[in-house]
């Protein structure tokens, strides 16, 4: 059994049994948010890792799913399943639209355009009362109830987030091996050659952006159930950047990095705030040192460490496979 | 829209354009010469505003405050370039990420230092109060007219600098092809440091000039970062005339739409950006990448 597989099993066992031995605070306030933030950050890893598209609008898309759910269930009084469908539809459509606008650019241009798009949506949410509820947003959003049991109950919600997190992680890993995933990675490396081979470059990018938007939308629904409300603050500049911070700390090009980064982020914001008010400075410094010292993030660091150890033990061992990088 | 309202909205648009120009021109210069997307640009605006307010408050001189803002932000920019960015030049995504990190830390430290309060400036008496505009027949704040004149003067000075001086030639050459500029023996590292200081300094100065129109408080960094982004996306990244035209376009569109349909004004800015990107992805004055 490989080390990797053993590690996977250990992580799985620990996370599934966690509510039985972990403190309620850690289950509800640390790991649960880390999981849904991880899903949102995963949508960025998917775009950046495969597609070479570094988007700052993932939180906006997640937030739009939350707004869609809140508008349908609270403002219009529709049932929760309609809210879920509507929220995800809004997220996917917004992502497709953003994608159409931004895909003709790449690199830092893409980053700038998605950031501007995200901030425009923030301004709209702040100004518009009829749909977005203006500055207050939409309050009193409730998670669905199944068999008389609210999904927002701590343990239930933890398992929901865990299930969604694992499923989306598995899906992203699977996607990397599908023809579509392979085409995306090729697009990231050699768009011109792919175009010459007859691939529709822009269409693939828009499709990837829409897919990632759908994923972000799922994370956004979990987040809005957790918070019970949504307001423009949920999608302000700081929150947009937080998704980037999470993905970069964990390792932008690693699917597992999204969750690792989210866990570090939630831990730092929770615990740094108990001894200093300047926890944002701590987060910023962690982020800066990651970018400057280990651009591949924590996952990259662990990967390098594991490789070094393996070389010590078995010189000439096969290089481990890993999530593609730029 | 009645005539006086139309004139007022137009003038508001023009003064806002002036402000956007002063903020965004620094962003454009830094991007044009260094190829760095400085996402901490809004932080320099805010830093300038706070430092300028503090100095003006201590000394009683608004002009001294403005000078201090310029110097403080320029030093901040120099520090960012020499301390962090120089080591990773050429990796544009990483550079953008570093500026994001700096903006997080800077926003938090400035919040710690100056708190969540709103600070009001008091510009010199000569440029405060209202003035009755001849021909147009409406009253208008003198200070806003000063902002307009200031931006025009700054634009003219920059144009003269770029068109008529040796430094200007080097800067324009660097925007076109910085490798070639380095190859002919010009110290580009010094040029980069200088441009970063100038760009950040202008943002800091804008913090005082713009902060005096309304006020300065935390959160303004995000607002002016967005303005800079939209202006350079519309105008074309790295193009100086593009920045001027786009600042005018973006600000006028914003003010008219705020006056006509206030709850959807953000959509109009969005549409403007979208239309430009669809028709000319490189921006109005940008060259194809």
- DSSP 3-state of B238: coil
Q: What is the pLDDT of residue B105?
A: 94
Residues of chain B contacting residue A121, judged by C-beta atoms under 8 Å apart: 266
Q: Is the pLDDT of residue A316 over 70?
A: no
Least Cα distance to A36 among A168, A171, A234, A211 occurs for A168
Cβ separation A244–B97 shorter than 8 A: yes
**pLDDT score of A112 more than 80:** yes
CA-based nearest distance A36→chain B, Å: 22
Query: Inter-chain contact B270–A288, Cβ cutoff 8 Å?
Result: no
Distance in Å, alpha carbon of B268 to nearest chain A alpha carbon? 10
* Model confidence band, residue A326 (pLDDT cutoffs 50, 70, 90): very low
pLDDT digit string (tens) for B120-160? 888 888 888 888 877 777 888 889 999 999 999 999 999 89
Nearest C-alpha of chain A: how many angstroms from B283? 11
Digit-coded pLDDT (tens) for A265-312 = 999 888 887 777 888 898 899 999 988 988 888 888 888 888 888 777
pLDDT in tens, B171-208: 888 878 888 888 888 888 888 899 999 999 999 999 99
Q: b/e map of B97-124 (b: 16 or more CB within 10 Å)?
A: bbbbbbbbbbbbbbbeebeeeebebebe
Residues 6+ apart with CB under 8 A from A84: A69, A144, A221
Higher-confidence residue of A150 and A197: namely A197
Please name the member of A128, A244, A280 whose beta carbon is closest to the beta carbon of B263: A128
CA distance B110 to chain A (A): 10
- The complex's ipTM? 0.87
Helix axis angle, A237-250 to A255-275, nearest 10°: 120
In percent, the amount of chain A with pLDDT more than 70 equals 96
Confidence check: pLDDT of A154 > 50: yes
Residues in chain B closer than 8 A to A127 (CB atoms): 262-266
Domains of chain B: 3-279 (1.10.3470)
- Rounded CA gap, B28 and B14, in Å? 20
Average pLDDT, rounded, for chain A: 88
User: pLDDT value at position A317?
Assistant: 52
Q: Which of A126, A278, A288 sits opposite B98 (nearest CB)?
A: A288
pLDDT at A325: 47
Handedness of CA A125, A126, A132, A138 (dihedral sign): positive
Q: Does A105 touch chain B (CB under 8 A)?
A: yes
CB contact under 8 A, A280 and B107: yes
Q: Give residue A320's pLDDT.
A: 52
CA B7, CA B259: separation in Å to the nearest integer?
A: 12
A292 contact residues in B (CB cutoff 8 A): 84, 87-88, 98
The residue among B168 and A276 whose pLDDT is bigger is B168
Mean pLDDT confidence for A146-166: 87
């Amino acid at each position: 059994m490989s080390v990797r597989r053993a590690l996977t099993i250990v992580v799985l066992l620990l996370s599934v049994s966690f509510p039985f031995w972990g403190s309620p605070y850690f289950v509800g306030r640390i790991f649960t948010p880390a999981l849904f933030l991880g899903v949102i950050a995963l949508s960025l890893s998917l775009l950046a890792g495969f597609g070479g598209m570094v988007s700052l609008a993932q939180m906006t898309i997640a937030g739009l799913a939350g707004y869609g759910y809140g508008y349908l269930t609270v403002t219009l009084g529709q049932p929760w399943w309609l809210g879920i469908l509507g929220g995800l539809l809004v997220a996917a459509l917004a992502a497709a639209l953003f994608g159409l606008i931004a895909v003709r650019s790449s690199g830092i241009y893409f980053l700038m355009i998605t950031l501007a798009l995200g901030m425009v949506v923030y301004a709209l949410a702040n100004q518009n009362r009829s749909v977005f509820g203006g500055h207050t947003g939409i309050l009193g959003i409730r998670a669905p109830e199944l068999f008389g049991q609210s999904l927002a109950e701590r343990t239930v919600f933890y398992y929901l987030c865990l299930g969604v997190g694992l499923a989306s992680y598995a899906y992203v890993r699977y996607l990397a091996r599908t023809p579509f995933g392979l085409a995306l990675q090729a697009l990231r490396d050699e768009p011109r050659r792919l175009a010459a081979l007859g691939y529709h470059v822009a269409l693939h990018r828009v499709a990837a952006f829409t897919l990632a938007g759908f994923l972000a939308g799922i994370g956004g629904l979990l987040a809005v159930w957790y918070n019970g409300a949504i307001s423009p603050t949920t999608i302000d500049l700081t929150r947009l950047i937080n998704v980037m911070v999470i993905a970069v700390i964990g390792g932008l090009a690693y699917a597992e990095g999204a969750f690792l980064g989210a866990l570090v982020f939630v831990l730092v914001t929770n615990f740094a705030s108990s001894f200093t008010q300047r926890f944002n400075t701590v987060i910023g410094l962690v982020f800066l040192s990651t970018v400057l010292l280990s651009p591949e993030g924590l996952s990259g660091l662990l990967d390098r460490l594991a490789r070094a150890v393996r070389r010590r033990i078995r010189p000439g061992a096969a290089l481990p496979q890993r999530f593609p990088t730029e | 829209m009645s005539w006086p309202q139309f004139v007022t909205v137009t003038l508001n648009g023009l003064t806002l354009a002036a402000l956007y120009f002063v903020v965004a021109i620094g962003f454009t210069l830094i991007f044009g010469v260094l190829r760095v997307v400085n996402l901490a640009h809004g932080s320099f605006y805010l830093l300038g505003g706070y430092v300028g307010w503090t100095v003006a408050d201590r000394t009683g001189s608004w002009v001294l405050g403005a000078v201090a803002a310029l110097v403080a932000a320029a030093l901040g920019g120099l520090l960012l370039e020499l301390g962090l960015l120089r080591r990773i030049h050429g990796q544009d995504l990483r550079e953008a990420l570093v500026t994001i990190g700096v903006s997080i830390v800077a926003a938090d430290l400035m919040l710690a230092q100056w708190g969540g309060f709103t600070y009001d400036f008091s510009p010199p008496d000569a440029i405060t109060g209202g003035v009755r505009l001849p021909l147009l027949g409406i009253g208008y704040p003198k200070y806003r007219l000063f902002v307009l004149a200031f931006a025009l003067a700054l634009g003219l000075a920059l144009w003269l600098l770029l068109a008529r001086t040796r430094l200007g030639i080097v800067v324009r050459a660097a925007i076109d092809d910085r490798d070639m500029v380095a190859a002919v023996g010009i110290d580009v590292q010094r040029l980069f440091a200088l441009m970063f200081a100038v760009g950040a300094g202008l943002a800091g100065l804008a913090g005082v000039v713009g902060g005096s129109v309304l006020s300065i408080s935390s959160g303004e960094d995000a607002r002016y970062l967005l303005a800079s982004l939209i202006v350079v996306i519309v105008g074309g990244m790295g193009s100086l005339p593009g920045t001027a035209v786009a600042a005018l376009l973006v600000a006028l569109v914003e003010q008219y739409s705020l006056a006509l349909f206030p709850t959807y004004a953000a959509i109009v800015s969005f549409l403007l950006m979208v239309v430009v990107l669809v028709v000319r992805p490189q921006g109005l004055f940008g060259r194809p990448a």
